[in-house]
Structure 1
């Protein structure tokens, strides 16, 4: 359960609402050998003040006790639905499984290593209603429950070279100062609330998350596509949760402990994203900004991480499919903001 210190969770009173009248929402959790964290995560979800939801747990062929833990809790709460997959489809495949089989007006993605404050979902849903162009709401994620905890993320900001950075990552709350709701460039993938119209508007060949990504940088891709289509992402600091950051590919020490596949995916996904999402009028500007870093990455792979060169081979072999995705994205982006539901 959420156990952050009073200083960490202090926030305005939760919005009042008649619980029985609240609109249903879907929560999606993708697990893979998550036995060490999934029970605490599920308990924090079940303690939410907004109670009218369904919880899909999509398990990517875990080899540990993850499914047993989820199944045990599912016996005590019918809102939990466990879906066991025969193969590991990754973060993207797992969440696409949920998104393609549900129709609720909002979907909250929940990393299995997050611990939500009881009012996270209620506050996020209230924030989503502030503007019909808000497609995503993200909260303040803290790295630990300690007094004056470091911030894990406060949304994301776009960088000139096609990357995204976590806002205020690693900064103490006392150093960050008072935080207020504001529009940001994107939401970290650990705990975003998506509007269904946003999900459907961003679909490319039927899928919200690009299944080629498997995992890593998929939140960058969604943030970039959302901006291209005119949607807004709202950071609401009253929504709070704990999320100890695990994946840090730019940290060389951490990177060397990752599997070869994960390291190659991180490189491959960046290149796919640059090809798909850069508008034609910004291509040369993006090339001048992104090329120095990408050449440095290529040189590093040639010298010290040759297994990640498979990323280059993959992009070349799948170039036609990637270019088709680019054509679809850029064609939709030229139309401007026009939610699917409104257009239909």
Structure 2
């Protein structure tokens, strides 16, 4: 393996309980990162202090405000100013020992790759390994699927891991819970100094960055040899009323921002019926079940001018055909 500089960035918001397991797994890597940066949103001194003392090698950025995933990721990318590629992690992810080495090998073997993600499994690795016996492990994500309606899901989420996703392949986008981004790609797609769009704040920002990268000619890879466990707090199929209002607000808003910024007219015309069908179902659900979410639609007026301007920049720099993008919408 050639010399490859990589920084690991962890974006935390109140999840101090899982941080030690996450940090320990980073320290155990067969290919250690050059830097470990922990960004702590709305940092609590009494909680982050013990972490800082236990892990003196970790650079901690304590934020007074909550920058969200997007703002936190941008701050980490700026902080890692030595040209390193960037691995971003959620604090509830535990990496298997070869995770970083496998991601870097995949990126080195595919020079056009802008993002690489591995096989994420649900739950804690130590608990799963001790209690499950011969039962198959449960998949969390093997990359994102995007439908013609532009609905996005984690591929294979909740399925038993029985080898159905054991082959490396190109995918549309990588889940931001554990992902390696090429520094060259990040610099190429930057708009107004932002790699991640901070209007997204959180949720679907990982889809947005990969969609933009695809438009500019970069690829995203799924590399199953890089495995990790994700203690995801909310799972598909859970009661939606358990999901925080903040998450639902940003998820709903960001569904529209994704299309405003990245949609190609020819593909919009092709898929207008499934897009309208999902939109009408979503509006009916909001009206009948959660009318407070209408705020996310009304607030689009505030985000619209910036999203349109960013769209103009993206489309002016687009390097690929509509057919190449359209193949991902299933």
What's the TM-score once normalised by structure 1's chain length?
Answer: 0.85
| 1:335 Cα deviation from its structure 2 partner | 7.0
- Residues 92/66 of structure 1: CA separation in 2 closer, same or farther (3 Å cut): farther
Count of residue correspondences: 311
State the TM-score, normalized to the length of structure 2.
Answer: 0.88
Relative to 1, partners in 2 of residues 1:36 and 1:212: Cα closer, same or farther, differing over 3 Å? same
Task: State the secondary structure of the residue aligned to 1:97.
Answer: helix
Structure 1 residues 63-116: Cα deviation after superposition (integer angstroms, max 9, x where no partner)? 4854123212232xx2x1000011001111111111123233311001100000
Aligned to 1:222: 209
Rounded to whole Å, the distance in 2 between the matches of 1:150 and 1:64 is: 36
Residue of structure 2 equivalent to 1:40: 21
Q: What is the CA–CA distance in structure 2 between the aligned matches of 1:304 and 1:284, rounded to whole Å?
A: 30
| Aligned residue number for residue 200 of structure 1 | 187
2:317 aligned counterpart, secondary structure? helix
Q: 1:230 to 1:178 in 2, by over 3 A?
A: closer
Number of the residue aligned with 1:95: 73
Equivalent in the alignment of 1:233: 220
Question: 2:286 pairs with 274, 293, 301, which one?
Answer: 301
Note the aligned Cα RMSD (angstroms): 1.9
1:142, CA displacement in angstroms?
A: 0.7
Gaps of 5+ in 2: 322-330
- Which residues in structure 2 correspond to 1:171-320 (within 5 Å)? 171-174=159-162, 176-177=163-164, 179-248=166-235, 251=237, 253=239, 255-320=240-305
Q: 1:191 to 1:312 in 2, by over 3 A?
A: same
- 1:228/1:178 Cα in 2 relative to 1: closer, same or farther (>3 Å)? closer
Q: Distance in 1 between matches of 2:85 and 2:39?
A: 18
For the 8 Å contact 1:31–1:66, the answer to whether it is kept is no
CA distance in 2: counterparts of 1:178 and 1:278, whole angstroms: 28
**Residue 132 (1) aligns with residue 111 (2):** yes
- Alignment partner of 1:192: what SS? strand
What SS does the corresponding residue of 2:90 show, helix, strand or coil?
Answer: coil
Instruction: Tell me the alpha carbon deviations over residues 205-225 of structure 1, each in whole angstroms, 9 at most, x when there is no partner.
Output: 221111011111111112211
SS at match of 2:299: helix
Mark the CA change 1:46 to 1:281 in structure 2 (over 3 Å): closer, same or farther. same
Verify the 8 A CA contact 1:35 1:65 in the aligned structure 2. Answer: no
Tell me the equivalent position of 1:162. Answer: 150
Counterpart Cα distance in 2 of 1:244 and 1:193: 19
Match of 1:330 among 315, 318, 328: 315
- 1:86 to 1:178, Cα distance in 2 relative to 1, 3 A: closer
Q: CA deviation at 1:22?
A: 3.7
| Distance of 1:266 and 1:56 partners within structure 2 | 27
Matched-pair contact (CA < 8 Å) for 1:152–1:243: yes
**In structure 1, C-alpha distance between the alignment counterparts of 2:53 and 2:228, rounded to whole Å:** 24
